[in-house]
């Protein structure tokens, strides 16, 4: 067989291609390692521009502090501060308060403020750059914040400042209405951090001879005094210097000023400043304790109880609410829970003495009486609703109640709101505080209705509804009431509110009269919903309304009447004749008396 030439040539020619060697695929750990290195490189590249930026690029407000500056340095040194220059002349420093002083404010977290200080030790300007204060997040306009910050312009690092009060030899700083505690913390933060920077950079006293201190130029940078080593950025708030410390003295030789030392915590000064309010609040809480202890006696005197209760509600609105601004909120519950799991410090709560004392009292009453003591006596917004409903009843405004089926399902609404707020707070406490505006407390109490019309309409709307449905918001919407009801289930005593075996079987008088509908048809009081108004206790001791008491009263009234009938018979037929009639009738003793059922 003759082969084809091409086939024979192809068969004789050796292969020109080498066998392909397959590469091994990268393993999964190798892939993860490469991916990690790639992401790390991207993060590093992204961080380089931010690091390279000056403090003025990251915080443009710093340029407003020093209009003539042409160069801003980086935050450096101990404590960190960025030098500011015009050509080669040092104008001052810019720094962040959170880098050196971290005093927990109302939210439990510090307020971070950007401050500019000139070489004379005076504030050139400041602005708040970060905070989580509820009253500042929602309620205080940016304009009011700027007006507050403008008061510090020109204040020296060695001045003594006083917030909300005029004192001789001190610079007065006007407080922000509704944010007194926040402002006091901010004032302490500003002055303490300012003094730390002034001390570390050797800034002279106002009016002092600056020639005595070595000059600071662009060549030698920021000069740090040895005192800076004693004031690290991690200094705890409880031991930081107080802004109320005396003016600084000058060291021998006219060098850097010697800062006064004062280890008094800031909350101690706050408690001292509010001694009158504390005394009045403690007196009011003591009076309420006496009311609760002697509630049985007051329930037997219903007219006196009405005056006592209404008077205390007025005290709650005017003093606890609008004067002391001690309206508790679900925000306090979320803040406390967040602090327990993160960075709990008593200073965060002691900073507001009114709230601290009130919360302490509420914690005790939760275990003894339940949530009703606060909700019925100490809540300013609840007191407004209750007095509004009483006023509506005086004008014979028709009341409206939901059917039992709807009412019992609406009860669950406030618990749903609480769960949502708690869930959001786990991710972002600031977002939870914004959502907590479902409570109109800030508008009605803290801001005294001086707010945008939408918030005011919301707060007034619930008050208007309470005129026809007693404490509508408290019964169905209030997340604070839901939060208080949970620990109240562990209360120690259940016998403060008296009940009888006839209650609910068959008597329904108390259940029908309870306007917050906290009494079940079976007669038991639902302590989770009771507001401790004591109306049921007034009925309990009412001998003309409570059926067992009515029967007891009638029996007591029959005894004098029976004795009177006996005397009348004795006058007509004589004692001997009465005995003869009794024997003739076959009766013995009182059995012959027509009023024998009333004898005791």
pLDDT in tens, 563-590: 777 677 667 666 555 555 555 555 455 5
Which of 138, 169, 173 lies closest to 152, judged by CA? Answer: 173
Helices 275-293 and 266-273 pack at an angle, to 10 degrees, of: 70
**252 pLDDT higher than 70:** no
Residues 334 and 284 in one domain: yes
Residue written as tokens 């060098």? Answer: 255
Least confident of 34-48, 441-455, 563-577: 34-48
Under DSSP, is residue 94 helix (H, G, I), strand (E, B) or coil? strand
Confidence class for position 335, pLDDT limits 50, 70, 90: confident
Answer whether residue 507 is part of any domain. Answer: no
Q: How far apart are the first and last CA of the chain?
A: 145
Alpha carbon separation from 470 to 146, 310, 390, 462 (Å, rounded): 42, 15, 9, 10
Mean pLDDT of the chain: 79
Per-residue model confidence (pLDDT) at position 167: 74
pTM of the model: 0.71
C-alpha 50/C-alpha 522 separation (Å) is 69
Residues 351 and 466 in one domain: yes
Residues 293 and 239 in one domain: no
Per-residue model confidence (pLDDT) at position 237: 34
Residues 398 and 256 in one domain: no
Residues 117 and 238 in one domain: yes
Average pLDDT estimate for 479-490: 92
Answer whether residue 226 is part of any domain. Answer: yes
Query: Nearest 5°: phi and psi at 271?
Result: -65, -35
Peptide bond into 79 cis (omega under 30): yes
Confidence class for position 444, pLDDT limits 50, 70, 90: very high
pLDDT digits over 209-241, tens only? 444 333 333 333 333 333 333 333 333 333 333
pLDDT digits over 301-325, tens only? 999 999 999 999 999 999 999 999 8
Confidence class for position 157, pLDDT limits 50, 70, 90: confident
Answer whether residue 540 is part of any domain. Answer: no
Least confident of 57-61, 217-221, 457-461: 217-221
**262 pLDDT higher than 80:** no
Least confident of 13-27, 174-188, 460-474: 13-27
Residues 147 and 206 in one domain: yes
DSSP secondary structure letter of residue 152: T
Burial of 281 (C-beta count, 10 Å sphere; 0-12/13-18/19+): buried
Residues 466 and 318 in one domain: yes
Angle at 34 between CA 28 and CA 37, to 5 degrees: 140
Which of 121, 122, 285, 281 lies closest to 203, judged by CA? Answer: 121
**351 pLDDT higher than 60:** yes
Rg (CA), the chain: 38
Q: HSE of 436 in the Cβ direction (CA atoms, 13 Å)?
A: 31
Answer whether residue 13 is part of any domain. Answer: no
Give the domain range for residue 185: 55-267
Residues 359 and 484 in one domain: yes
Residues 284 and 405 in one domain: yes
Alpha carbon separation from 318 to 70, 154, 314, 322, 477 (Å, rounded): 54, 38, 6, 5, 24
Looking at the structure of the chain, the number of domains it has is: 3
Residues 446 and 421 in one domain: yes
Residues 75 and 216 in one domain: yes
Residue that is last in its domain, among 267, 297, 328: 267
**How is 395-428 classified by DSSP, letter by letter?**
TTPPP----HHHHHHHHHHHHHHHHHHHHHHHH-
Query: Nearest 5°: phi and psi at 171?
Result: -85, 125
Residues 206 and 249 in one domain: yes
pLDDT digits over 384-425, tens only? 999 999 999 999 999 999 998 999 899 999 999 999 999 999
């Amino acid at each position: 067989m003759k082969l084809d030439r091409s086939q024979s040539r192809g068969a004789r020619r050796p292969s020109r291609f080498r066998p392909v060697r397959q590469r091994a695929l990268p393993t999964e750990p190798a892939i993860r390692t490469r991916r990690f290195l790639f992401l790390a490189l991207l993060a590093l590249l992204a961080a380089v521009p931010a690091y390279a930026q000056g403090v003025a690029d990251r915080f443009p407000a710093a340029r407003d502090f020093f209009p003539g500056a042409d160069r801003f340095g980086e935050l450096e040194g101990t404590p960190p501060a960025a030098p500011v220059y015009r050509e080669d002349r040092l104008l001052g420093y810019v720094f962040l308060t959170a880098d050196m002083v971290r005093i927990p404010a109302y939210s439990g977290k510090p307020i971070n403020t950007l401050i500019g200080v000139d070489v004379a030790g005076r504030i050139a300007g400041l602005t708040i750059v970060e905070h989580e204060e509820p009253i500042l997040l929602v309620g205080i306009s940016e304009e009011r914040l700027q007006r507050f910050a403008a008061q510090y312009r020109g204040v020296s690092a060695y001045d003594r400042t006083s917030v909300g009060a005029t004192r001789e030899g001190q610079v007065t700083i006007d407080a922000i209405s509704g944010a007194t505690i926040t402002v006091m913390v901010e004032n302490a933060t500003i002055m303490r951090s300012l003094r730390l920077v002034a001390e570390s950079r050797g800034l002279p006293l106002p009016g002092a001879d600056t020639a005595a201190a070595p000059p600071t130029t662009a060549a030698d940078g920021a000069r740090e005094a040895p005192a800076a080593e004693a004031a690290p950025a991690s200094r705890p708030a409880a031991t930081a210097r107080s802004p109320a410390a005396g003016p600084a003295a000058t060291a021998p030789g006219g060098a850097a000023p010697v800062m006064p030392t004062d280890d008094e915590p800031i909350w101690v000064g706050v408690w001292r400043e509010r001694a009158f309010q504390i005394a009045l609040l403690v007196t009011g809480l003591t009076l309420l304790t006496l009311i609760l202890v002697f509630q049985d006696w007051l329930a037997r005197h219903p007219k006196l109880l009405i005056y006592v209760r209404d008077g205390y509600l007025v005290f709650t609105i005017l003093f606890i609410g609008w004067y002391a601004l001690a309206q508790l909120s679900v925000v306090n519950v979320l803040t406390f829970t967040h602090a327990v799991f993160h960075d709990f410090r008593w200073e965060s709560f002691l900073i507001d003495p009114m709230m601290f004392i009130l919360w302490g009292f509420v914690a005790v009453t939760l275990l003894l009486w339940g949530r009703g003591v606060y909700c019925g006596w100490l809540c300013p917004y609840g007191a407004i609703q209750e007095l509004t409903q009483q006023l509506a009843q005086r004008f014979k405004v028709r009341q409206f109640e939901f059917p039992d089926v709807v009412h019992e399902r609406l009860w669950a609404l406030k618990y749903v709101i609480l769960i949502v707020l708690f869930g959001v707070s786990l991710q972002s406490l600031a977002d939870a505080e914004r959502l907590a505006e479902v409570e109109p407390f800030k508008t009605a109490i803290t801001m005294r209705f001086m707010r945008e019309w939408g918030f005011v309409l919301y707060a007034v709307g619930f008050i208007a509804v309470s005129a026809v449905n007693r404490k509508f918001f408290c019964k169905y919407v209030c997340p604070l009431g839901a939060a208080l009801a949970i620990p109240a289930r562990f209360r120690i005593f259940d016998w403060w509110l008296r009940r009888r075996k006839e209650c609910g079987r068959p008597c329904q008088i108390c259940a029908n009269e309870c306007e917050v509908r906290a009494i079940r048809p079976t007669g038991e009081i639902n302590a989770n919903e009771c507001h401790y108004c004591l109306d049921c206790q007034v009925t309990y001791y009412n001998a003309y309304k409570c059926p067992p008491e009515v029967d007891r009263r009638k029996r007591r009234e029959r005894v004098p009447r029976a004795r009177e009938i006996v005397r009348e018979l004795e006058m007509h037929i004589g004692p001997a004749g009465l005995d003869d009639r009794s024997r003739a009738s076959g009766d013995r003793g009182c059995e012959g008396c027509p009023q024998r059922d009333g004898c005791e």
